[in-house]
Structure 1
Amino acid sequence: MGFLDIKNATKSYGAVKVLHETDISIEEGEFLVLVGPSGCGKSTLLNMIAGLENITTGDIAIKGRSMNGVRPADRNIAMVFQSYALYPNMNVGQNIVFGLEMHGVPKPERDKAMKEVAELLQIEHLLDRKPGQLSGGQRQRVAMGRALVRDPDVFLFDEPLSNLDAKLRVDMRTEIKKLHQKLKTTIVYVTHDQIEALTLSTRIAVMYGGHVQQLGTPKEIYDNPANMFVAGFMGSPSMNLFPATIAVENGRAVARTKLVGGAEATLPFAEGRGFERHEGRDIVLGLRPEAITDRDGADRNSQSVHVVEAHVEVTEPAGSDTFVVTQMGGKEVTGRFRADVDVQAGQSFPFAINMDKAVVFDPETEARIS
C-alpha cells in the first residue's frame, strides 16, 4: 500500500467514460507527473484526488484512508492552480495565511509559518504587495507559498507553469525541483509539457485517451517506451519511428529499411536481443535522435554502431547541436549531430546509428516488441 493509492478509479459523464480503470500507487515523498495531450484525462484524475470531481467507480485513499465522499477541505491536500487564484484585494502575506486563518490558527502561529515560507521561497520583500504588483513568476511563488504553509499530506499542481514565458518556466521548474528535494513532499503534478515531466518527476504516468499508457521512471519512459504513442510523445525531438523488416544474416537479427533513392540499409541489432525469432516480420523501428549522429559523435562504448550513407534533406543548427534530417523507410528521420560538423543539405553523408538504443514496435498494435 502506498501513501496515495488510486485503485481502479474511473470517471464518466453520462455514457461517456473520460477516465478508464486507473491504478497508481504513490509512495510518500514521490514526485509523480501526469503528462499527456489535452483531453487525455490527467486533470480529471488530479481533480478526483483533490475531491473537486467525484469518482464514478473505484477508490482513492491517502495514508490508508478512503477519500470517497470526503470533502476537499477535509482531505489535507493543497492545490496550486494554473491561474494562481490569488485574492487581488489582499497583500501577499494575507494571501499566504488566509487558509490558516479560515481554519482558526492563532495569529502568532500564522505569522511564524508565513515567515518560514517567505524565506524558503525568497519572497520576504513582497509580503506587503498586492498580486497586481507582481510578475507572473512572483505570483506563482505566492501560490506555492499558500500551499506550503498548510503542511499538507499531498501537493497537487495543475499546469502551474503554463502561463509563464519560456525562460521563467525553466527557472521555476528548477525552483520546484529544489523545493521537492529539500522538503521531501509528496507531489502529483499535471502538465502537457514532456520536458517538465522528464526533468521534475521521480515517476511519470503518460496518459492518452483516458488510459495510463505507461507508468515508470523518466529513464524507463524515455529509453523503453511501452508503445508508439509514448515513444512519439516523450522527448524533444521525439523518437524517430520508421518501417523496417527483420531479417537474419549470419545468425544475427538485422533491421532492413529503405533509404532515399531505393537503396537498402541493413542495421544489425545488438547481440542477445532475441529478435532472430521474428525473422520476416514487419516492424516499426524506434531510434532517439541522439542514437543517430555523425561518426565521431557516436557512443564509443557501444558495440552496435553502424554507419549508413544517407541523403541529407535538411540541417537545423541549434546552438549546442545540429539536427540533421534524412529519410528512412519513407519517413523523416532526425539525427542529433555535433554543432561543428560540416554537413550540408543535398549531400550524401555517413550517419552513425547506435542499434543498442533501438526499440521495436508492432505496426498493428503499436505495442513494443520485447
Structure 2
Amino acid sequence: MGFLKIDHVTKSFGALTVLHETNIAVEEGEFLVLVGPSGCGKSTLLSMIAGLEPTTSGDISINGRSMNGVRPADRNIAMVFQSYALYPNMNVGENISFGLEMHGVPKAERDKAIDQVADLLQIRHLLKRKPGQLSGGQRQRVAMGRALVRDPDVFLFDEPLSNLDAKLRVDMRTEIKKLHQKLGTTIVYVTHDQIEALTLSTRIAVMFGGHVQQLGTPKEIYDNPANMFVAGFMGSPSMNLFPAKIVVQDGTAAAEFALADGGKAHLPFPGDAMTAHDGRDIILGVRPEAVTDELGADRSSNAVHTINARVEVTEPAGSDLFVVTQLGGKEVTARFRADVEAKPGDTFPFAVNMEKAVAFDPETEERIG
C-alpha cells in the first residue's frame, strides 16, 4: 500500500495542468528522489505532500491517513529547504529547537533533542553561533538538525544542496546518505541533479512535462530506461543515442548503422533479442562505459563486438579517456582506459558490449522489448 501514497494526484493552475495523474507509493524507510529538469512538476508535487499547495484532484495519504484538508503543521512532516530558512537573530541551538518550543515541548526534552542532533550531525561546537557566522555546509546541517528533532513521519528535502559548491555537495551527499542509513527515515528528496538522484536514492521517479516518466531503483533507471528522455537525462555522460536498423540474418538480429567514412557496421544483439523486428528503424542506446577500447571491454560478456571507427575528439579525464566518434551520423562518446593511445583522425577499434544496448522506437521514443 505504501507509507506515503500519492494516488491519481493532479495539479492545475487555471487551464494549465502542471502535474498529470501521478501515482507513487513510498514504503516506510524508503529514500525516494524526484528528479527532472526545471518545470517538470517535482517541486510542485513536494509542495502538495507538505500541504503548501492543495491538490486539484487525487489524494495524498501518510501512514494510512488522508492529507486532504490537513494543515501543514498537522501533517507530521519536516522540510529542509534550498534556502536553509534559518532565523538570523537566533543561535544554532535556538534555531534547532524553535519548532519544538512552538509545539509546547518542555525545555528538558528540547535540550535532550538538541544534544542528540548535535552529536549526530557533528555540530555541537556550533550551537552558540549565529547563522551569519556559519559556512553554507554548516547552515545546511543546522537546517537538517531542525528537521530531525521533530521526529516526523516523512522528511521532505527541496534541492537542499543546490547552493553549495561542487566539493561540498559531494560531501553533503555522503552525510545525507549515512544519516538515512543510520536512522531509516522515510525521505522524499527533490533535485535536478541526476548524479545526486542515483547516489542517494533507494528509488527514483524521473519526471518530465508533469508526468512520471519512470519509477524504479537507480540500477533499473540507469540500465533499463523506459524511454529516450530517461536514457538521455540519467547518467553523466548521458547514454549515446543514434539511428540504426534491425537486420536479421541466420536467426540473429543486428543493429546496422552508418559510419563516418560511408561504410556500414553491424552489431549483433545477444540471443534472440530483436529477431521479431527485422527491418525496423530504431534508435540504439549505449552507455559510454559499454563502448570502450578492446582491452578495457567486459571480459565476462559474450556480446562484445568490435567496429573500426574514426576518432573525432579525445577528452582526458584523469582515470578515463573519453573518445568521441561518429556512429549513425551522431556523435558517440566512448570511455577508454586513461593510457590508451587514441588520437583525433585515427581509425581505431571500438569494443561495444551489446548486452548493455537498448533499442527505442524513433516515433514514440519508448523502449522496444
Q: Normalised by the shorter chain, which TM-score bucket? A: over 0.9
Aligned: 1:57 with 2:21? no
Provide, for residues 294-336 of structure 1, a one-character-per-residue CA deviation record: whole Å limited to 9, x for no partner. Answer: 0000000100100000000000000010000000110000000
Aligned: 1:208 with 2:208? yes
State the SS of the aligned residue for 2:345: coil
Provide, for residues 174-221 of structure 1, a one-character-per-residue CA deviation record: whole Å limited to 9, x for no partner. Answer: 000000000000000000000000000000000000000000000000
Report what 1:308 is aligned to: 307
Shift of residue 338, structure 1, vs aligned partner: 0.5
Report the Cα distance in structure 1 between the residues aligned to 2:258 and 2:17, rounded to whole angstroms: 42
1:218-297 matches, within 5 Å, as 218-273=218-273, 275-297=274-296
Report the Cα distance in structure 2 between the residues aligned to 1:367 and 1:260, rounded to whole angstroms: 27
Report what 2:99 is aligned to: 99
Report the Cα distance in structure 1 between the residues aligned to 2:227 and 2:13, rounded to whole angstroms: 28
Shift of residue 251, structure 1, vs aligned partner: 1.2
Shift of residue 272, structure 1, vs aligned partner: 3.2
Amino acid at match of 2:290: A
Report what 2:6 is aligned to: 6
Provide, for residues 205-239 of structure 1, a one-character-per-residue CA deviation record: whole Å limited to 9, x for no partner. Answer: 00000000000000000000000000000000000
Report what 1:367 is aligned to: 366
Report the Cα distance in structure 1 between the residues aligned to 2:321 and 2:185, rounded to whole angstroms: 39
Amino acid at match of 1:300: R
The alignment-based identity, stated in percent, is 80
Amino acid at match of 2:322: F
Report the Cα distance in structure 2 between the residues aligned to 1:182 and 1:80, rounded to whole angstroms: 18
Report the Cα distance in structure 2 between the residues aligned to 1:141 and 1:272, rounded to whole angstroms: 52
Aligned: 1:130 with 2:130? yes
Report what 1:182 is aligned to: 182
Shift of residue 250, structure 1, vs aligned partner: 1.7
Amino acid at match of 1:287: V
State the SS of the aligned residue for 2:367: coil
Shift of residue 249, structure 1, vs aligned partner: 1.6
Report what 1:109 is aligned to: 109
Report the Cα distance in structure 1 between the residues aligned to 2:90 and 2:163, rounded to whole angstroms: 22
State the SS of the aligned residue for 2:20: strand
State the SS of the aligned residue for 1:332: strand
What residue ranges of structure 2 are gaps of 5+ in the alignment?
Answer: none
Report the Cα distance in structure 2 between the residues aligned to 1:189 and 1:120, rounded to whole angstroms: 20
Provide, for residues 122-141 of structure 1, a one-character-per-residue CA deviation record: whole Å limited to 9, x for no partner. Answer: 00000000000000000000
What residue ranges of structure 1 are gaps of 5+ in the alignment?
Answer: none
Report what 2:343 is aligned to: 344
Report the Cα distance in structure 2 between the residues aligned to 1:280 and 1:3, rounded to whole angstroms: 47
Give the structure-2-normalised TM-score.
Answer: 1.00
Amino acid at match of 1:165: D
Shift of residue 97, structure 1, vs aligned partner: 0.3
Report what 1:83 is aligned to: 83
State the SS of the aligned residue for 1:261: coil
Report the Cα distance in structure 1 between the residues aligned to 2:366 and 2:325, rounded to whole angstroms: 25
Report the Cα distance in structure 1 between the residues aligned to 2:362 and 2:97, rounded to whole angstroms: 55
- Coordinate RMSD, CA, aligned: 0.4
State the SS of the aligned residue for 1:96: helix
Runs of 4+ displaced beyond 2 Å = none
Give the structure-1-normalised TM-score.
Answer: 0.99
State the SS of the aligned residue for 1:197: helix
Report the Cα distance in structure 1 between the residues aligned to 2:138 and 2:366, rounded to whole angstroms: 43
Report the Cα distance in structure 2 between the residues aligned to 1:100 and 1:262, rounded to whole angstroms: 70
